[in-house]
Amino acid sequence: MGFISRGFRGRRREESGDARVPPGQYVTDDFPVLSAGPTPHTPLAEWTFSVTGEVPESRSWTWGEFLTLPSEHFTVDIHCVTKWSKLATVWEGVSVDTLLEGVESEAAYVVAYCDGDYTTNLPIEDLVDGKAWVVYAYDDQPLEPEHGGPARLLVPHLYFWKSAKWVRGLELRSENEPGFWETNGYHMRGDPWQEQRYWGD
């Protein structure tokens, strides 16, 4: 290795040997605000969430309707591709299983699309069976715009860039079309347990 800066330690980080933390990650306490663009501010009166694409019939909820859906309050660990992990984060939201309930589709993939033009792609099996939610509260407070509010996708078993902020809908597709970061060198699936960070991993 090259030059080492005498006495530099950097941000507090623990490479935890804990089996709970995927390889190559550091555990941190804070929750950094990260963004690929300006924060969108869609008024709740205009907000809708839709399931579209290769489905017999699209479905859509207004904000008011969305809040009446059965919700869950739960705690998960999150893992960012840039190596930080935050343990035991508390969320509230609607399971994607609820949103896809009764939807019959052959589609194997999903694109999550968002305000601010962000997209991310996932295999549909990574969104179902209790693995994903659309959340609107973090730490028992309404989700702040900086962290993706009013609602974001949450897929904790994949790297956190898949947990798309400002999500507005899921489009079901037969093709796996790369989203924002996937188009820019990141992995199509992003499993932290296999360190699928970049294309070619």
Partner 1 sequence: MAGTALLGRLSWRLGTVVALRDETSRVRTIVLDMPGWLGHQPGQHVDVRLTAEDGYRAERSYSIASPPEQDEVELTVEYLEDGEVSSYLVGELREGDQLELRGPIGGYFVWTADRPAPLQLIAGGSGVVPLMCMLRHRAAVGSLAPARLLYSAKTHDQIIYADELERLATADDGFELFETVTGITPPGWTGYSRRIDQQMLATVAWPAAARPTSFVCGPTSLVESVATSLLALDHDPASIKTERFGPTGGA
Partner 2 sequence: MAMSDDELRLDGNALAGDLGEIFAADMTGVSCRCAHCGRIDAMGSQHLYRSPRAPGAVLRCAACGGLLLVFVRHPGGPLLSLWGLDWVQVGSYRTQGQSEAESHAEREQR
Does residue 113 interact with partner 2 by CB under 8 A?
A: no
Q: Is 131 left (phi over 0), alpha (psi -120 to 50) or beta?
A: alpha
User: How is residue 84 written in tokens?
Assistant: 């930080």
For 103-134, give one letter per residue: b (16+ CB within 10 A) or e: bebeeebbbbbbbbebbbbbebebbeeebbbb
CA proximity to 78, closest of 17, 183, 6, 160:
160
Burial class (CB in 10 A: 0-12, 13-18, 19+), 43: exposed
Helix (H, G, I), strand (E, B) or coil at 162: helix
144 binds partner 2 (CB under 8 A): yes
Nearer to partner 2, 28 or 50 (CB): 28
Q: Does 34 bind partner 2 (CB under 8 A)?
A: yes
CA distance 11 to 30: 11
Burial (CB count <10 Å: 0-12, 13-18, 19+), residue 57: exposed
Q: Nearer to partner 1 by C-beta: 4 or 19?
A: 4
Instruction: By CB under 8 A, tell whether 36 contacts partner 2.
Output: yes
Binding test (CB under 8 A) with partner 2, winner from 48, 75, 82, 174: 82
Q: How many residues bind partner 2 (CB under 8 A)?
A: 26
In one-letter notation, the amino acid at residue 195 is E
- At closest approach, how far in Å is the CB of 3 from partner 1? 5
Of residues 28-87, which lie at the interface with partner 1 (CB under 8 A)? 30
Is 147 a residue that touches partner 1 (CB under 8 A)? no
CB-nearer residue toward partner 2: 70 or 200: 200
Taking residues 176 to 195 in sequence order and writing x for each that binds partner 2 by CB under 8 A, - otherwise, the string is: -----x-xxxx---------
Q: How far is the CB of 65 from partner 2 (least distance, A)?
A: 28
Only segment of 2-10, 46-54, 87-95, 109-117 that touches partner 1 (CB under 8 A): 2-10
Q: How far is the CB of 38 from partner 2 (least distance, A)?
A: 6
Residue type present at position 79: H
Can you tell me the distance from the alpha carbon of 64 to that of 21, in angstroms, rounded to the nearest whole number?
37
Please give the residue ranges that form the binding site for partner 1 (CB under 8 A): 1-11, 13, 15, 30
Please give the residue ranges that form the binding site for partner 2 (CB under 8 A): 32-39, 80-84, 117, 144-147, 161, 181, 183-186, 198, 200
